[in-house]
Structure 1
Amino acid sequence: MNSYSFVILGGGIAGLTTAIALKKIGIDAMVMEAAIEIKPVGAGLALAANAMMALRKIGVADQVIREGRELKAFSIYDQKGKLISRTDTDPANSRYGISNFTIHRADLHRVLLAQLDPRNVLTGKRSVDFTEDSEGFLVRFEDGDQIRAKYLIVAEGIHSPIRRKLIPSQKIRYSGYTCWRGIMDNSDLNIAETSETWGKKGRFGVTPLAKNQVYWYACINAAGINSPLKNFTKADLEENFKDFHFPIPQVLAGTKPDQIIWNDIIDLDPLPRFAFGNLVLIGDAAHATTPNMGQGACMAIEDAAILASCLENNPKPIQAFELFEKRRLSRTHRIVQDSWRLGIIAQLENPLLMTLRNTFFRMIPRKVTQKQIETLYQVDLS
């Protein structure tokens, strides 16, 4: 049986960025990833200025920037293409001095993996249980293997069995809508704007990526989790969004069926704690959120930078984990709940309520919107 000092369960964005951040302060953590093989999968995501600042602190911002595309603004439209709201995210208008970026999840994963020694990333290690004793933690995996760890960082996502054992009463929440995501070639459409459209039959987002690609997502209300809508084909999506403004029908038409993935939108009811002695929860295992504010990956990257800071400045990991919890609970709770509420607003179907919503958003002064964005970016990375 192998024994390690620091073990990170999960080789996603949270786990890999944390391993990189710990490496920078002299801690070589072992990453245990559930997948048999780390493949270039997934769709696009946004890395807001708060995430980019955290990546800069960790030391990998430049590498990510080379693979991403700058996101200077975000617009919301109604179904006919009339502007509802526009947020300027250009760094020239921000005191943070670093821009927002969009990136393919697979490209981000590849950049992060390249920063680590391959011998410190083990695949096929899906945790199923753990116990704690005077020597630390004994972690058991689905393949029958087990390891010992003195300190355990749990970054294995919203369905983490470790978190379920620690807090069995905590619930995963279904948002009320289901989602399709896809990637398409942008050579013909030349889409340059990141936008979201709120319509009577759902919501559709379009995000240009680097390498002449476009990432899109489509959210439709569904009564329950795993609804029959999960069987929607590309043709079904085209029919549902056929009356939406340009370029939405064209984006769907140009997407290959094998480039479309589906999942219900869920989050994690905010946890009362993240630290459990010499064990700490991070990323989606701690604060999984709906994607409405584009902050899921961002919060995971913040976690990495802040956890490393706590460990660097505290001689005992148990104290560092407690400080991490203190620094992260309030911010992550607020973002999870704000994102949940925004999803409810964006997914409205009642025509009267939709009209009132759109009118209200159009009346919000631009400086108020900008202030809200700047507040979102304010994160203590010291």
Structure 2
Amino acid sequence: MKPDTEFLILGGGIAGLATAIALQKIGKDFLVAEASEAFRPVGAGIALAANAMKALSKIGAADAVIPKGSRLADFSIYDDKGKLISKTHAHNPDYGNFTIHRADLHAALLSFLEEKKLLTGKRSKRFVKGPKRYTVFFEDGSEISASHLIVAEGIHSPIRKQLLPDTNPRFAGYTCWRGIADNGQLHIDETFETWGRKGRIGIVPLRNKQIYWFACVNAPHADSDKKNFKKEDILEIFGDFHSSISEVLKATYAPIIWNDILDLPPLSRFAFEDILLIGDAAHATTPNMGQGACMALEDAAVLMACLKKNPSTSTAFLDFEKRRLTRTRQIVIQSWTLGKVAQLENPIGIWLRNFAFRVTPASVNQKQLEKLYNVDLD
């Protein structure tokens, strides 16, 4: 029996949609199976660093995304009194760094794909391997067969759990709220974070007079009280931070999103014959370096290159694994470490951290950024 599709992409988030665009670009047959009843982005604002923009360019989607984003030139870190801790010039002359609302990025990616290629309400349960195809069984009772599976269904992927039963997300030790505020009266044009003993908060200007913000505090895992926090509760925590913080929180108008911060301890493999893990299903990272979506977009571009180079798909998947394991592992570890440093509560530790950041030469920060942005997608 002929498979329903050549490639079945499980998950319709950034990784899944970008990969679908990449497969389409090189003439591959595919279907995207999304767990939700509709293609709805989860989250508020995200950063697309120069490496992500390079990946979008490779798959042919950059021109659709750039008009929806705002260019990011610099990134600053302040203490809770508003004193500068660190400033990094993030300008990249070749591809640029952008901030964008996740919904706008999602819409831009969806615009490249035909509706008949996109299935919703397909939450995977398990797969079975046959002689020449895989069959995926879904919670709605349906099944789809494919020659190759690309697993892009996120950190809680049941298919990854079937392949690697001992892999579990880990809690970073802090929880996070995200929101959108009105920038019409505030006119904030700087992207920055503020670090204090009570937690940290980040401010990211977007297009259309919007601000994306996030606030993180150390907390127990799955603290149900935090889930129901409103902006007044968050103001109570951060109200004595410098004035820009309270102004942004007061201007918040969209529903606040809450979640604990999790990542996936680095895996030893992504490829399993004709099954490939990508995106958060493979290398979910904490958001401290703003690289989660960037890594997902890189995955799509690298996979496209591997499939073009290798006539065998299973060989292409192994090639992808070889090219991606070290880079994604490094970013997961670095982001985890940075989060621990940013969430310090001890006054002496905070003073030492801030002093170290202030005396670090700008050239050091610049070299670290260049290393991050310099990714081989060919």
TM-score by length of 1: 0.97
* 2:319 counterpart of 1:296: no
In structure 2, how many angstroms separate the alpha carbons of the residues matched to 1:298 and 1:163? 21
In structure 2, how many angstroms separate the alpha carbons of the residues matched to 1:33 and 1:24? 21
In structure 2, how many angstroms separate the alpha carbons of the residues matched to 1:99 and 1:233? 35
Q: How does 1:301-316 map to 2 (within 5 A)?
A: 301-316=297-312
In structure 2, how many angstroms separate the alpha carbons of the residues matched to 1:30 and 1:319? 21
Which residue of 2 is the match for residue 334 of structure 1? 330
1:114-146, Cα deviation, whole Å (9 max, x unpaired): 001111011110101111010211100010000
* 2:231 counterpart of 1:234: yes
Which residue of 2 is the match for residue 209 of structure 1? 206
* 2:67 counterpart of 1:66: yes
Q: How does 1:88-99 map to 2 (within 5 A)?
A: 88-92=89-93, 97-99=94-96
Cα distance, 1:89 vs structure 2: 1.2
- Decide whether the 8 Å contact of 1:271 with 1:286 is kept in 2: yes
Counting aligned pairs with the same residue, the percent is: 60
- Decide whether the 8 Å contact of 1:19 with 1:28 is kept in 2: no
- Decide whether the 8 Å contact of 1:63 with 1:111 is kept in 2: yes
In structure 2, how many angstroms separate the alpha carbons of the residues matched to 1:32 and 1:230? 29
In structure 1, how many angstroms separate the alpha carbons of the residues matched to 2:29 and 2:50? 27
Q: How does 1:233-312 map to 2 (within 5 A)?
A: 233-256=230-253, 258-312=254-308
* 2:173 counterpart of 1:195: no
Which residue of 2 is the match for residue 161 of structure 1? 158
In structure 1, how many angstroms separate the alpha carbons of the residues matched to 2:42 and 2:167? 29
In structure 2, how many angstroms separate the alpha carbons of the residues matched to 1:373 and 1:112? 26
Which residue of 2 is the match for residue 110 of structure 1? 107
Q: Supply the AA of the counterpart residue of 1:177.
A: Y
Which residue of 1 is the match for residue 37 of structure 2? 36
In structure 1, how many angstroms separate the alpha carbons of the residues matched to 2:368 and 2:232? 38
Q: Supply the AA of the counterpart residue of 1:276.
A: F
Tell me the SS of whatever aligns to 1:91.
coil
Tell me the SS of whatever aligns to 1:305.
helix
Which residue of 2 is the match for residue 170 of structure 1? 167
- Decide whether the 8 Å contact of 1:174 with 1:225 is kept in 2: no
- Decide whether the 8 Å contact of 1:180 with 1:262 is kept in 2: yes
* 2:367 counterpart of 1:371: yes
In structure 1, how many angstroms separate the alpha carbons of the residues matched to 2:209 and 2:184? 6
The match for 1:325 among 321, 324, 328 is 321
- Decide whether the 8 Å contact of 1:88 with 1:370 is kept in 2: yes
- Decide whether the 8 Å contact of 2:5 with 2:29 is kept in 1: no
Q: Supply the AA of the counterpart residue of 2:95.
A: I
Tell me the SS of whatever aligns to 2:337.
helix
Provide the aligned length of Structure 1 versus Structure 2.
Answer: 377
Cα distance, 1:259 vs structure 2: 2.1
Q: Which deviates more, 2-11 or 68-77?
A: 2-11
What 5-or-longer segments of structure 2 have no aligned partner? none
Moved over 2 A (4+): 39-42, 223-233
In structure 1, how many angstroms separate the alpha carbons of the residues matched to 2:279 and 2:359? 35
What 5-or-longer segments of structure 1 have no aligned partner? none
In structure 2, how many angstroms separate the alpha carbons of the residues matched to 1:40 and 1:264? 18
Q: Supply the AA of the counterpart residue of 2:277.
A: L
When residues 71 and 77 of structure 1 are mapped into structure 2, their CA distance, relative to the original with a 3 A threshold, is same
In structure 1, how many angstroms separate the alpha carbons of the residues matched to 2:225 and 2:207? 34
In structure 1, how many angstroms separate the alpha carbons of the residues matched to 2:91 and 2:376? 21
Q: Supply the AA of the counterpart residue of 1:375.
A: K
1:256-278, Cα deviation, whole Å (9 max, x unpaired): 3x521100000001111000000
In structure 1, how many angstroms separate the alpha carbons of the residues matched to 2:5 and 2:283? 26
The match for 2:343 among 347, 361, 366 is 347
* 2:16 counterpart of 1:3: no
Cα distance, 1:213 vs structure 2: 0.6
Q: Supply the AA of the counterpart residue of 1:140.
A: F
1:306-349, Cα deviation, whole Å (9 max, x unpaired): 00110011111000000000000000000000000000000000
1:36-64, Cα deviation, whole Å (9 max, x unpaired): 01235520000000000010111111110
Instruction: Report the RMSD for the aligned CA atoms in angstroms.
Output: 1.1
Q: Which deviates more, 315-324 or 246-255?
A: 246-255
